[in-house]
Structure 1
Amino acid sequence: MIEIKKSPTSKIDKTNFDNLVFGQVFTDHMMECDYKNGEWQKPVIKPYGPLSLDPSARVFHYGQAVFEGMKAYKDKDDKIWLFRPEENFNRINRSSERLAIPEFPKEYFFNALVELLKLEKDWIKKGFGNSLYLRPFVIATEPGVSASAAKEYKFMIICSPAQAYYSGEVRVKFSEKYSRAADGGVGYAKAAGNYGAQFYPTNLVKEEGFQQIIWTDANSHEYLEEAGTMNIFFRIGDKLITAPTNDRILDGVTRKSVIALAKENNIDIEIRRVSVQEVIEAAENNELMEIFGSGTATVINPVAGFGHKDKKFELPKLENSYASFFKDKLMKIQYNEAEDKFGWRYEVK
């Protein structure tokens, strides 16, 4: 089913695994599958390398591109695991549908992932925090600049070795002007343009000493929705609160996992709209204990402080934080070091 063309050489011996910059080193192979004549062709695993595309390929002109972020982990016995890969498969097809891209077959997706990971198994290093980041993506390749959905596409998977992700202390600013997404838009999809549109407002807050933005709703800027490229959680007292998903908010796999773990561990969690005013009042009353983001790359990213308009707030440094609790629980499941009560692990055989 899958054609495999092995690379004659490997870059692995020239790779410094002790000093990896996230997303800048790639493995020896990639998966490529073209959509032509109304159907997906035979997937091919081939040596990693540049693509040749027509300058009029529609991805360059109309942004028909979606992607996913996943990781593969190696346990102490050299077994390789994925974490909830069916969620990623379903979501890339939901994203594709929103951008008028044809659905990718499930059998192709999983067979390609497994064969690719078997080839690249030596790139997955053991040890808590080490992983192989996987980037499935789809782009419109049909030549032509007429403003319509393409009839030709390329589905690819590339792999990048990753270390434990330490971002240092992160401070965020609540957005007052710019929005990540609007009602009826593509906010729930992992569309490439969603992320490109974030860079400019994020650069503005960096000039003020913040690292990320917490996006607010586009209509009123009164409700907090996402942080940078992550879903966001607030702990007020011992209550954990996160915004519900909608067509503006990405249905994060890590977010769903945190919610499930909170319920299993009897942590009081509410999934509801979170207002800017509620969080500011909680901070002023010393009731705001934590803010943290969740996502594939970082797993859980604690927030040290936040800003709104001209005010800045620092969060307490907790010894037993919810952020560290959830990160530990999730990573132990991902690395096969704890019982998987939810059936989230997927073994690559």
Structure 2
Amino acid sequence: MDIKFVKRDVLKEKPDQKNLGFGKYMTDYMFVMDWDQGIGWHDARIEPYGPIEINPSCVTLHYAQETFEGLKAYRTKDGRILLFRPEMNAKRMITSNERLCMPGFPEDMFVEAIEELVKVEKDWIPSEPETSLYIRPFVFATEASLGVHQAISYKFMVICCPVGAYYPEGINPVKILVEDELVRAVQGGTGFTKCGGNYAASILGQVRAEAKGCTQVLWLDGVNRKYVEEVGTMNIMFKINGEIYTAPIEGTVLPGVTRDSIIHILKDWGYKVNETHLSVDDLMKAGHDGTLEESFGTGTAAVISPVGEFVYKDDSVVVNDFKIGELTQRLYDYLTGIQWGNEEDKYGWTREVL
């Protein structure tokens, strides 16, 4: 691509790497590209991070035609910069956009846009342990017109922020509420896409969870309210009697990049991975009889997040004495080792930004 660069007059002051939190400090620049009917994608540029002007009748504000992705750039001990499987994010965004009747952003352009922005923002990539540069690509309709329809203009943008742990607990176990009234997704809907509407619909469940002292929500299937699917910000896995269980990708669960990576690793380590429907009753039973050995969420933001307790109706089960499990810790160490360049990447998942 021919990418125009608009230089910022004064660069921002970098935050304390030891107290980054998540999503608080945006970098100096952002990538922007427009799409118009009859023209396609055009005018790629990297410009100073700042407000964007949209019309009050912008389609996205009223009908939520928007998708996004999330990935990270990691600084290795020897100073190299690595991305983790960015092509998977690119392909997933294309799938999401197809479902929402939005133009696909080509995989090669997606990766190039991210690499070029990361090069410009390389000084923002933190070097403290457990830190990284979070990258947020997104697409939204910009047409100014009321009425539900496929828009005729869009923007693709990428913004970045240096981050630490996603959850305040870090790699420590979290307490999760099983939501049995509200639903997140149904077959034929948008559950497999990464669109803002899915997350907006999940906020009430999150509020309910926090009111009960829980960090996150475990969603059940939208038809029977019976089978466990995913957590609000992560896919989830369970180790029961030595085998791994996780919800299948059938249209209601996000096909997570970390989920896919963990499944590859688990199978290589000799574990049987069951991508199947697990009922919440069987989950709670396994928790009570001790066969639920470990549980952990998987996602780009948190990577691996151990679960210490499930709360369901008037019942609850504690997992592994509310301690991180041996397998969970091993997976976290190995995958983050690949991402930070400390482990051999035999899968070819990392991509160096040169």
Interval containing the TM-score (normalised by the shorter chain): over 0.9
Q: Residue 4 of structure 1 aligns with which residue?
A: 5
- Equivalent in the alignment of 1:187: 191
Q: Which residue is 1:107 aligned to? A: 108
Deviations 1:14-67 (A, max 9, x none): x22221121011000000001113311121100000000000000001000000
1:8-23 equivalences under 5 Å are 8-13=9-14, 15-23=15-23
- 8 Å contact kept, 2:294–2:319: yes
Separation in structure 1 between the aligned mates of residue 97 and residue 22 of structure 2, nearest angstrom: 26
Equivalence for 1:41: 42
Match of 2:231 among 206, 215, 227: 227
Alignment of 1:313 onto 2:317 = yes
Deviations for 1:273-307, whole angstroms, at most 9, x for unmatched residues?
A: 11112111111111111111000010001111011
Aligned pair partner of 1:326 in 316, 326, 331: 331
Distance in 1 separating the partners of 2:234 and 2:101: 25
* 2:73 equivalent in structure 1: 72
Structure 2 residue ranges without an equivalent (≥5): none
Deviation of residue 165 (structure 1)? 4.0
Q: Distance in 2 between matches of 1:86 and 1:209?
A: 37
**Partners of 2:112 and 2:242 in 1: CA distance:** 43
Task: Indicate the residue corresponding to 2:56 in structure 1.
Answer: 55
* Conserved? CA contact 2:18–2:128, under 8 Å: no
Q: How does 1:150-161 map to 2 (within 5 A)?
A: 150-161=151-162
User: Is contact 2:175–2:216 with CA below 8 Å preserved after alignment?
Assistant: yes
The one-letter amino acid paired with 1:148 is: H
Distance, in Å, in 1 between the alignment partners of 2:114 and 2:205 is 35
Distance in 2 (alpha carbons) for counterparts of 1:271 and 1:91: 19
**SS of the residue 1:25 aligns to:** coil
Give the 5 Å matches for 1:1-349: 1-13=2-14, 15-38=15-38, 39-168=40-169, 169-317=173-321, 320-349=325-354
Q: 1:75 touches 1:127 (CA, 8 Å); kept in 2?
A: no
User: Residues 319 and 249 (structure 1 numbering): CA distance in 2 closer, same or farther, change over 3 Å?
Assistant: closer
Cα distance in 2, alignment partners of residues 183 and 319 from structure 1: 33
In 2, Cα distance between equivalents of 1:340 and 1:267: 20
Does the 8 Å CA contact 1:12/1:27 hold for their aligned counterparts?
no
Partner Cα separation in structure 2 for residue 23 and residue 332 of structure 1: 23
In structure 2, C-alpha distance between the alignment counterparts of 1:130 and 1:285, rounded to whole Å = 38
Task: State the AA in 2 paired with 1:10.
Answer: L
Instruction: Specify whether residues 319 and 215 from structure 1 end up closer, same or farther in structure 2 by C-alpha distance, changes over 3 A only.
Output: closer
Shift of 1:311: 0.7
| 3-state SS of 2:35 partner | strand
Partner-residue secondary structure (3-state), 2:19 = coil
Contact 1:128–1:164 (CA under 8 A) maintained in structure 2: no
2:52 alignment partner, SS class: coil
Once the two structures are TM-superposed, the CA of residue 166 in structure 1 deviates from its matched residue by 4.7
CA distance in structure 2 between the partners assigned to 1:16 and 1:337 by the alignment: 24
CA positional deviation for 1:271:
1.4
Asked if the contact 2:17/2:128 (under 8 Å) is kept, the reply is: no
**Maintained 8 Å contact 1:12/1:123:** no
Query: What secondary structure, in the 3-state scheme, does the structure 1 residue paired with 2:270 have?
Result: coil
Runs of 5+ consecutive residues of structure 1 not aligned to the other structure: none
Q: TM-score, normalised by structure 2?
A: 0.95
Q: How many residues align?
A: 348
Stretch moving more, 61-70 or 19-28:
19-28
What amino acid does structure 2 have at the position aligned with 1:117? V
**Mapped contact 2:90–2:106 kept (Cα < 8 A):** no
1:94-131 CA deviation, whole Å, 9 max, x = no partner?
Answer: 10111000011233222211111111001012243111
Q: 2:36, 2:154 within 8 Å by CA — same for their partners in 1?
A: yes
Which amino acid in 1 is paired with 2:330? F
Kept in 1, the 8 Å contact 2:177–2:218? The answer is yes
